[in-house]
Chain A
């Protein structure tokens, strides 16, 4: 399926300034893997050491958080959009 991954400004340092990536994938996970293999600098920002999506990165398939769709293995349809949005946390130490 042809899908588009939309990349937030803060990530574009790692994508040569590109705001999106068009790719062909069957699942969100596959699309993310294509993204990080094309732009390896992004890898550690998308997944943590255990290979899980990083805690402070939200990923949406079209309008829905992928955690409501069964996680990153959810299937994508032709023309879908995958959106990466950093979580806005204040935190405290």
Chain B
């Protein structure tokens, strides 16, 4: 299973994602520039956190127009794995691969801390190694992470089991339905504000994010075997 980590101008969590996959999980992973126009040969693509294009206009709004985006949309449509964390999540919503939008935190503050999450869907390829309703802790670091969608979209997300992570105990940003991460209907595209890549080694003080990558790798291998 070959994984691409896309680097946009202003990405700053690309190395974290790469190292989580390469060093910790020994996965086959490669940095891919936003200038590239194809993702041929890759089975998964990951959009890192950061401030692509300086968050100009809206977070993720400009990244949508990069050369690489059509290739990411193609992978999503082909059922391959697409993952976005933080700014990556914002880009996925701006690109229309996930519904809704991320708006400025209700507090107007940049929030940087570890929060408790509930895994509310462990049937996705990204969360199969977590228990249903398991509580985990992951770091968040964002100013624009308040998930918003209209009532009809929220109802649809809930009905289709597309809410994957919810903030437990405390909602740090004003997200509707305490949403921290959602997937598309098919389950192969996941976006989340928390940073699992920052919680993959005991020396970092937290390994709760590791199983997200392990789930993905395990399910990627399963897909290869059944091909």
Question: Do the two chains bind?
Answer: no
B residues neighboring A (CB under 8 Å): none
A residues neighboring B (CB under 8 Å): none
